[in-house]
Chain A
Amino acid sequence: MRLLMLCYACWVGESSRAEESENTSNREEKRGGNMEMWIKWGYKWEAGIELGMNLRAACLQLQTSLLNPQIRRRPTPRHYRPIKEHRFAYTRLKSYTLLMAASLIRTSYSSAFAFSSPKASVYSPSVSPPSIKVPAFSPFTVKPLSSTFAPHAVRAISLATHATLTPSSVPADTSTTTFHGLCYVVGDNIDTDQIIPAEYLTLVPSNPAEYEKLGSYALVGLPSSYATRFIEPNETKTKYSIVIGGANFGCGSSREHAPVALGAAGAKAVVAESYARIFFRNSVATGEVYPLESEVRICEECKTGDVVTIELGESRLINHTTGKEYKLKPIGDAGPVIDAGGIFAYARKTGMIPSESN
C-alpha cells in the first residue's frame, strides 16, 4: 500500500499546484473520473501500458506544447527537445514509477518500461509532436489519497529520489511561477566566451543531440578562479538551477549558443544586475532561461550552493541559506514570450504568424 501511495505520490508530486485546465478536450472529459483528475493536474495522455489484471498503469508525460499555458510547468522549447527526452526528470520518474508498479503486480520491469516510450508503444497511436495523443487507457484506478495528503511532502519525496530533479511548481501563469534550487554565483561581465567557449560553437543547437552536448559545456569557460564548476566533470547537467550574476551578464557575442547552453544544462533562470542586449534578446526569443534583473548586487550577497527560491509573480528572490529576500525587477512583456516557449510559440499563440503546419 505504501508503495502504491509512493507511486501515486510521485506522479502527483510532479504536478502539484496545477490549476484547472480550461481546455480539457471532450474526449478526456467523457472518460471522466480519474482521467479528469489527471488532466486537472496538468497531464496530457501520451502513452499507456497494460499491466494486466485490472490494474492499468498510466504513463503520463507532460506535453508542455499542448497544454494550456495556464497549467503548464516550466516551458520547454519544443523545437529544442525531442519529446522522449522532454523531461529529463520525467524519464526517470516514469521508470521508477513503472518499476514500482511493475513490482506490485510482478510484471517484468522491461516489459513495463518498454511502453513508456511513445514510439515503442503499441497501444498509443503513432505519436509525433505536436499531435495530441489519443488516450487508450484509463489511468490507475486508485482511490485518491485522503485530503491530508500534502503536496509538499510529496515533492520532498521526489526530491530525495531524484537528485537531479530541479523542482519547480506548475505555473498557472507567470504570477505563480517559482524556481527553487541551488544557485551558482558569478561576477560581472560574464561574456559569451565564458558561458560557451567558441570551440564548441560547431554544435548546432537545433539538433537535439548537439543541444544536450552544448549544455554539458555551459560556463566551462570560466577561469580557474571559480573553484566550484557549474557542471561536475563527469556530468552533463548542472545541479544549479539558478545563476546569479553581476553587471552586463552575457556580453560579447551574439551567439545564441550562450542562453541555449545554460538552458540545456538545466538552468532555469539567471538573476543579474544587468544584461547585454543580445543575450537578453536571445534568452527571450528562445525561452531557454528567464533573464531576471535584480535591484541590488545579489551576486555579492549570495554564495554558490545557497538554496534560493524565485517567485516570478512577486518579483522576489529568497535566499533560504542566508534568510534574505531581494526584490527583482518585473520580467514584464518578456514573461509571456518565455512562458509561451519563445518568440515563435508566442507569435503563433497570439496570431502573429499562422500555426505550424507540420
Chain B
Amino acid sequence: MASSLGSAHPGSSFFHNKKDLSLSVVPPTSQLSIYKCKKPFSKNIVMATTTQQSERKPATTGSLKAPMTMTEKILAKASEKSGVKPGDNVWVNVDVFMTNDISGPGSIGIFHREFGKNAKVWDHEKVVVIPDHYIFTSDERANRNVDILREFSLEQNIKYFYDIKDLSNFKANPDYKGVCHIALAQEGHCRPGEVLLGTDSHTCTAGAFGQFATGIGNTEAGFVLGTGALLLKVPHTLRFVMDGEMPDYLLAKDLILQIIGEISVAGATYKSMEFVGTTIESLNMEERMTLCNMVIEAGGKNGVVPADSTTFKYLEDKTSVSYEPVYSDAQASFLSEFRFDISNLEPLVAKPHSPDNRSLARECKDIKIDRVYIGSCTGGKTQDFLAAAKLFLASGKKVKVPTFLVPATQKVWVDIYTLTVPGSGGKTCSQIFEEAGCDTPASPSCAACMGGPKDTYARMNEAQVCVSTTNRNFPGRMGHKEGQIYLASPYTAAASALTGYITDPRQFLH
C-alpha cells in the first residue's frame, strides 16, 4: 500500500540537502510504511480504501537518505541535519517566533532575567508581537500587559508589533490586527517549510501552510528570544487521509471534530498530524487553518497540510520572503494511518466538557441552548462568517437566542462589512447578520473563547448552554464553571441560533 501524497505543484522546488553528499552510508529506516487502518466506532463512517491514487510525487531526496515525513524534513532542515527520525532530540533554528499579551510579558521577563537587562533578541525581524487576548477590557493588569509588549518592542526594535493604544475604537489603531494565529497568516508570516513557534497552544494553526508550528511556554520562549533555537524532539507522524468531495453542509470543523472524537484528546500526544487527500486539497486556506487549529485538542504536537497551489496563491500578495515547501517521501513511515470517506460524514458537535465528546448534531436536537458564539481563531475567520451568513440567508429567519459575532482580525471585520454573500443579491455578511438579528460584530480579539476578565465581550458569566465555533469546551472555558459549551462548525452554530436548539444545518441548507 502506498500513501497518496499531496498534489504536486508543478513549479514547486524540492527539498535538497546538500550535506548528505558527504555521507557514505546512511542506514535507512524501515522502507515499509507502517499502516494501521483503524476501524471507526461510529457506523456512519465507512472505511474505504481509495479507488484511485492522486498523482504520486517523485522522490524528493537523494537515494541514500532515509525517507522522511514532512515534519521530519522540516525539522531536519531547521536543525541542519541531513536526516532525522522520530525520537531524535534536535536543536532547531526558529524562523518566526510569535507572542501575545498573555504569555508575552512572562516570556519577556524570563528573557531579561536570563540573558540580561540589556540583552537583545536574536533577530528583531523574526519576532512577531501580537496583542490579542485581553484587549478590550478595563482590567488594569491586562492593559498593563499590552504596555509591557509595547515597551519591549520599542526597546528591541521589533519590526512586527501590531500595537493597539485606543481601546475604545479598534479601527483607530492601524497596526492592530487581532487574533494572533489569523494575523500571522494574513500578514504572510506563515510560509511552507519553516519553523514557527508561538506562546500559544493554537500556534499549530500555521501548519496549514506546510510548516512546523507548535506552541511553547514562557520559559522556552525566553530561551528562543535569546538564542533563536530550541531543543525539540522529532515526533512520529499520524497520517489522516480524507478523500471524497466535501458535502455542502460540512466544514473543516466537522472534519477535525470527527478526528478528535476518533482518537480522543490524547490520541495524538507528542505526535504530528498530517492531513492529506483530495478533500484536504479542495479546502481553502482558512478551512485548512481550522483543521490544523484543533490539532492541539487531540494532544498533537503539530499539524501539517502539504503546500499546494492554494497555498501559493494565498501567499502571493502577502509575503515576498522566499520559501521552500517540503513533502513527505513516498516511502516515509507513519505511526498510523486513518482513512475517512467524507461523503458519509455528518455535521458534528463536541458535547461538554471535552473536545472529543463527539456526537451527531442531529442527535442533539433536543438540547436547548441559551446563546451562540461565532468567533475565535477556529471559527472567526472570513470563511467562517461567510458560511454562517450563507446559512442565515438560506433560512431567511431570525435567531432565537443571543448570537455573538467576534471577527478574529481587523481584516475579517472589514470583510464582513464588504464581502457580498453569493446568492444574496449583493448583501454583505453584516447586513445578513443584522437581518437575522445577530449582535453587531464586535471588536476583533480572542474575546470570550477563553473567558477572560469579567468584562470581556460575550463572556459566559452565568451557567448557560452555548454553541460556539471555538476550540475548547472544558469546564469554565468561557467563564462560568458550570457553563455548557458545545463546539460546532459555523453552519451548525448558525442553524442552532435559528431554532434555539442544537440543529443540524441540513435543515436549512439544501
- Residues of A whose CB lies within 8 Å of any CB of B are 79, 189, 191, 193-194, 197-199, 201-207, 221-224, 247-248, 251-257, 274-278, 281-282, 285-286, 342-344, 347, 353, 356-358
Query: Is A206 within 8 A of B113, CB to CB?
Result: yes
In the assembled complex, the Cα of A202 lies from the Cα of B450 at a distance in Å of: 13
A256, B106: Cβ atoms under 8 Å? yes
CB nearest to B110 among chain A residues = A206
A286-B452 in contact given A248-B269, A276-B269 (Cβ < 8 Å): no
Tell me whether B445 is interfacial, beta carbon within 8 Å: no
At the interface, is chain A mostly helix, strand, loop or mixed?
loop
Contact of A274 with B451 in the complex, beta carbons under 8 Å: no
> Which listed segment binds A: B120-128, B213-221, B275-283, B419-427?
B213-221
Q: A205-B106, A206-B109, A223-B481 are in contact. Are A281 and B220 (CB under 8 A)?
A: yes
Selecting from B47-55, B138-146, B378-386, B409-417, the interface stretch reads B138-146
Q: Distance in Å from the Cβ of B152 to the closest Cβ of chain A?
A: 12
Chain B contact residues, CB within 8 Å of chain A: 102-103, 105-106, 108-110, 113-114, 116, 133-134, 139, 141-142, 144-145, 148, 199-201, 203, 215-220, 222-223, 226-227, 265-266, 269-270, 296, 299, 301, 354, 450-454, 472, 474-477, 479, 481-482
> Which residues of chain B have C-beta atoms less than 8 A from A285's C-beta?
217, 219-220, 223
Contact A251 B451 (CB under 8 A): no
Contacts of B110 in A (CB 8 A): 79, 206, 344
- Nearest Cβ on chain A to B48's Cβ, whole angstroms: 31
- State whether B218 touches A356 (Cβ < 8 A): no
A256 to B108, CA, bound (A): 13
Quote the shortest CB–CB distance from B351 to chain A (angstroms). Answer: 14
| CB atoms of A197 and B451 under 8 A apart | yes
B103 contacts A254, C-beta separation under 8 Å: yes
Q: Please pick, from B134, B145, B475, the residue contacting A194 in the complex, using a CB distance under 8 A.
A: B475
18 A-B pairs in the complex with CB atoms less than 8 angstroms apart = A198-B452, A201-B133, A202-B139, A204-B145, A206-B106, A206-B108, A206-B109, A222-B475, A252-B472, A253-B450, A255-B102, A255-B201, A277-B269, A282-B220, A286-B217, A343-B220, A343-B223, A356-B114
Contact (A204, B106) CB under 8 Å given A191-B472, A251-B266: yes
Given contacts A193-B477, A251-B299, contact A199 B452 (CB under 8 A): yes
Q: Which residues of A contact B451 (CB under 8 A)?
A: 193, 197-199
Nearest-Cβ distance from residue A343 to partner chain B, whole angstroms: 6
- Using CB atoms, name the residue of chain B closest to A344: B114
A23 smallest CB distance to B (angstroms): 23
Shortest CB distance A247–B (Å) = 6
Chain A residue with the shortest CB-CB distance to B89: A333
Residue on A with the closest CB to B219?
Answer: A285
Pairwise interchain contact A282-B217, C-beta atoms closer than 8 A: yes
Tell me whether B218 and A256 are in contact (CB under 8 A).
Answer: yes
Cα A340 to Cα B393 in complex, Å, equals 61
List B contacts of A253 (CB < 8 A): 200-201, 215, 450
Contact B200 A204 (CB under 8 A): no
Given the complex, which residues of B lie within 8 Å of A197, measured CB to CB?
A: 451, 476
Partner of A356, one of B116, B200, B354, B476: B116
User: Among the interface residues B142, B219, B270, B476, which one has the most CB atoms of the partner chain A within 10 A?
Assistant: B219
Please list the 7 inter-chain residue pairs (A to B) with the smallest Cβ-Cβ separation, ordered nearest first.
A206-B109, A256-B217, A254-B215, A202-B141, A282-B217, A254-B201, A285-B219
